[in-house]
Amino acid sequence: MTTLDGHLIDDRTGSAPGSRDSRRHEDSGARHEAVAALFDPVTCRHLEQLGVGPGWRCWEIGAGGASVATWLARKAGPTGKVVLTDSDVSWAEATARQVETRTHRLGRDDPPGEGFDLVHVRLGLVHAPDRDRALRSMIRALRPGGRLLVEDADLALQPLLCPEESGPEQQLANRLRLGLRDLLAERGVDLAYGRRLPRLLREAGLARVEADVYFPLASDACGALETATVRQARGALVAAGVATEEEIDRHLAHVATGAMDLAAGPLVSVRARRP
């Protein structure tokens, strides 16, 4: 269960080609690639500002992708180490040589070590069964002076798929996005979690807390993310009466034209240091 708009999705792997589960896996991969295209530049800018360099020990909490772990491995070099964890790491086979992958359930399992120079999580903390415990475990894993970068969504901050609702195509798109948000809220997702992170890190005793918010508008990756998300969530959307199958097909066709200016949900990035 990953990404900004994929909370309703049960990612599955190992399915036969052409099967329903195989298509879900393909959509999941497309969604992870779109998230990387949209947000890796933002994440890497924050990591650069935190000073990641040779010899660093990093804990990367995966959300279905290894792009950031690979970037960290290049920065840390042969004297450094990157531990990449997720509840399912079967997707993480093709990572850099100095990336160690481990199965880990954030918010349930103990950290995969101590004394890390950096701990980073993107679009994963809001999914943790116990977010407070998860955050404490991440802080505990840092060495004194170690850096923490937490990035998560705030779907209430900018709730529309099409900020400029200029026609019926945009109106349908926004109805689907708002319906998806309602379903997420019903399932216990905190739609305003991102904005709470700076306060939570200060209250946890961290220093030099800084944050910014980014949401892309009008890019091919926004369309790819929307297509993969709606394809995977369509069953839940139809069952909840948010849209009919015909309306979903019509929306996907509109997205495929590339003629709508689509926005991804805002990503809040918060940097801090352990004293």
**pLDDT at residue 8 tops 60:** no
What mean pLDDT comes out for the span 238-260? 97
Decide which of 3.30.565.10, 3.40.50.2300, 3.40.50.150, 3.30.450.20 is the CATH code for 20-273: 3.40.50.150
pLDDT at 179: 96
The whole-angstrom separation of Cα 220 and Cα 175 is 21
What mean pLDDT comes out for the span 64-77? 90
Phi first, then psi, for residue 145 (nearest 5°) are: 90, -5
Q: What's the length of the chain?
A: 275
Mean residue pLDDT of the chain comes to 88
Taking a C-beta distance cutoff of 8 angstroms, is the pair 270, 126 a contact? Answer: no
pLDDT at 127: 76
pLDDT at 20: 53
Q: What is the 3-state secondary structure (H, E, C) of 88-117?
A: CCHHHCCCCCCEEEEECCCCCCCCCCCCEE
**pLDDT at residue 10 tops 80:** no
The whole-angstrom separation of Cα 271 and Cα 210 is 5
**pLDDT at residue 201 tops 60:** yes
**pLDDT at residue 24 tops 90:** no
pLDDT tens across 204-214, in order?
Answer: 999 999 999 99
